[in-house]
Amino acid sequence: MLLRKINLAFLKNLPAQKTQHFSFRQMSGSEFDRFTGKAVNQLKHSVATEDDMPDQLGPAKQRKPRHPPKPPSSKPGVDLSKHSVLLFPGQGAQFVGMGAKLLEIPSVKELYDEASQILDYDLLKLCLEGPQSLLDETQYCQAATVVTSLASVELLYHQQSGAVENCLAVAGFSVGELTAAIFTGALTLSEGINLVKVRGEAMQAASDMCNSGMMTVFAGADGEVAFGCKVAAEWCKRHHDIEDPVCEVANHLYCGAKVVGGHEQALQFLELNKKDFKIRKTARLPVSGAFHTSLMAPAMEPFRMALQNTRVNNPRLPIYSNYDNRIITKGEHLKKYLPRQMVNPVKWESSMAKLFVSEPNDIPPQVYECGPGRGLSAMLGKINGKVAKVCKHIPV
């Protein structure tokens, strides 16, 4: 401290310096050349040794790529281009007017009529006329999505029967797994629609127990989404007196995109503080609850009981589950995993990676997204670009 005081005192006693004025003159040509690339020849002659000559240093070294390209594979590939894979969407892609492009097929009207008898309301009218607020409710949305997806398969069969007859495998997002179960014959249409009704009503009742929702979050490799969910849940517990707050990753869509579900206050916290967790963007989903989270636990038992009283056959085609990425070929496995799916995250990214695993020279099958929206096609482009090029959406 004493040394600092001495230095300060010394600086205060320094005489004020006079301002110096410099005279400017025009730069000569030789001086200009020295400051430009034109002085290369002069530089060569001024170098002391020949080893230091710029033209003796050799060509510049090229940096090796971090991931060098793999040598082309000589292994013959498998041609699956004459076969197909069907993908069925979940709720969230519904819109008023869906199904209008399918009514030219006679069997589609019969499909909606049979479903309406089981559901006790006019499903086709709801899909065509809405209102959107009613269509977004879980108890209506799930049935509308499943039946419209099955109707789109009818259109695909009418246009390209081989695409349906030569199907290799199916996968469904969330409630789309019930669509897949009906398509593969594991469930009859009437029993499948009844299960969709029970599932939708049970999940709607669970959603009405608290104010909750879902939100898509976009983050890079350094994103801290899981940590953000824990902080949001703790914040709800401390500031909103919620005894068991929920904020969880509900859907793994693709690298950099996830869906978070939980209490509304937790979602608002994440929206307001997204930069703290390196989340680039958020977008709310048009759903009425936090599906595939622990908030859906009350809905499991009614659905499990209905499923136990339903005959479930072995599917004619393998169903790629998004609960734990299993390939379901037994009806008993469907009975086991469908209820668990309701309270666990949808692992869509890893499910698609397993479904479309291939060698470099393989030709992938044709892929069809059957149902409202183009979300599954868009996500496939982020997961597997090669397969996404042969993916088509059936307009509804």
Q: CATH 3.40.366.10 occupies which residues in the chain?
A: 84-208+293-394
How confident is the model at residue 196, as a pLDDT?
98
pLDDT at 60: 59
Please give the chain's pLDDT, 396 residues, in tens: 434 444 445 444 545 544 444 444 455 555 545 544 544 454 445 444 444 444 555 565 666 666 677 777 777 788 999 999 999 999 888 999 999 999 999 999 999 999 999 999 999 999 999 999 999 999 999 999 999 999 999 999 999 999 999 999 999 999 999 999 999 999 999 999 999 999 999 999 999 999 999 999 999 989 999 999 999 999 999 999 898 999 999 999 999 999 999 999 999 999 999 999 999 999 998 887 999 999 999 999 999 999 999 999 999 999 999 888 899 999 999 999 999 999 999 999 999 999 999 888 899 999 999 999 999 999 999 999 999 999 999 999
pLDDT score of 134? 94
pLDDT of residue 191: 97
Q: Is 355 helix (H, G, I), strand (E, B) or coil?
A: helix
Q: What is the DSSP string of 158-191?
A: HH-HHHHHTEEEEEESTTHHHHHHHHTTSS-HHH
Q: Which CATH class is domain 84-208+293-394?
A: alpha beta
Q: Which long-range contacts (CB under 8 A, 24 or more apart) does 186-191 make?
A: 186/312, 186/313, 186/314, 186/315, 186/319, 186/331, 186/334, 187/310, 187/312, 187/313, 189/111, 189/114, 189/115, 189/150, 190/114, 190/118, 191/310, 191/311
Q: Is 46 a catalytic residue?
A: no
In angstroms, rounded to a whole number, what is the distance separating the alpha carbons of residues 339 and 337? 6
Look up 294 and say whether it is catalytic.
no
pTM of the model: 0.81
* Intervals of CATH 3.30.70.250 along the chain: 212-284
Query: Topology of 212-284 in CATH?
Result: Alpha-Beta Plaits (3.30.70)
CA nearest to 228, candidates 248, 252, 254: 248
Name the active-site residue from 84, 174, 212, 288. Answer: 174
pLDDT at residue 174, as a whole number: 95
Strand partners, 3: none
Q: Per-residue pLDDT tens for 286-331?
A: 887 999 999 999 999 999 999 999 999 999 999 999 888 899 999 9
| pLDDT tens digits, one per residue of 36-64 | 454 445 444 544 444 444 455 556 566 66
Q: What tokens appear for 325 in the block? A: 């990425």
At 93 the pLDDT is: 86
Distance CA 248, CA 260 (A): 6
Reading across the β-sheet that carries 366-370, which strands appear in turn? 327-328, 319-320, 167-172, 84-88, 366-370, 391-394
Catalytic entry in 116, 288, 292, 393: 292
